[in-house]
Amino acid sequence: MSDIEEGGDARIWRRGLLGIALLMLFWELSTRMFSLPHYILPPVSAIVIGMKAYAWLLFDSALITVGEAMGGLVLGTIFGVTLAMIVTVMPRIRNVVLSFGNAVNSVPVICLSPLLLLWFGMGMQSKIAMVTITVTLMIFLSALGGLDRVDNRAVDLLRSFGSGRVSIMWRLRLPTAAPLILAGVRVAIVRSMAIAIAAEMLGAEGGLGWVIFQAVLKVDFIQVWGAIFTASLASLAMFGLVSSLERRLVFWN
């Protein structure tokens, strides 16, 4: 990565942090100026104090939720990319797979949660399954679009040198599709955290969604917002990790 690109990334991060700081300041001043009750919108300072009080609970719960989201994200990425590769190599099954994927995608995965909870239990397995289903479809479409971007003349050139389908896939199609695949992964991070938290609210033994649900039952809105802030920080950390990997893996883009 060049110094210019590093400087550009630094400026983006600084602007992002400045925007968050201004938003938090506006939030704090607005809640105090209008004396908003905590059940509508608590001040940021009260949320931060609450997060300190529940630090260990939020930390342990975040580890569970991030583990579920990352597990589903990794499995979904593997399944999605593999399926896209199979469809590319075997174009005859393309319409069948796309039709099946659209049919599954039309049903919100949360609607499948009772079945998944019944099959996999209340633990992390059911949440990972829900995230995997969601991520697989997203990555599959991103990977398929990337694999289709290959110039047919480049494919013909490799074939003229004796390359087969596997060699063309490894040497040409996957490097071409890598930027679009990783862009899909970055988008899927937010979805994976949202699905994991929503699934935990429906039935779980721990996690940020479970914390939110329990806090609502106790009418502890500070703890609710503390869990939401923690989930946002975890999502940003995951997003930053994937962005860092993208810069190193797709260095030619």
Q: What is the pLDDT of residue 73?
A: 93
Residues 6+ apart with CB under 8 A from 118: none
Q: What is the pLDDT of residue 9?
A: 58
Distance of CA 81 to the CA centre of its chain: 16
Range among 6-20, 75-89, 176-190 rated most confident: 75-89
| Beta strands, E only, 40-190 | none
For helices 124-147 and 113-120, the axis angle rounded to 10 degrees is 120
Tell if the pTM clears 0.85, that is, is over it: no
pLDDT tens profile 211-234 = 999 998 888 889 999 999 999 889
Q: What is the pLDDT of residue 83?
A: 92
Asked whether the predicted pLDDT for residue 7 surpasses 60, the reply is no
Residues 6+ apart with CB under 8 A from 176: 146, 147, 149, 150
Burial class of residue 193 (count of CB atoms within 10 Å of its CB; 0-12, 13-18, 19+): buried
pLDDT tens profile 77-109 = 999 999 999 988 888 888 888 888 777 777 777
**What is the 3 state secondary structure string of 187-203?**
HHHHHHHHHHHHHHHHC
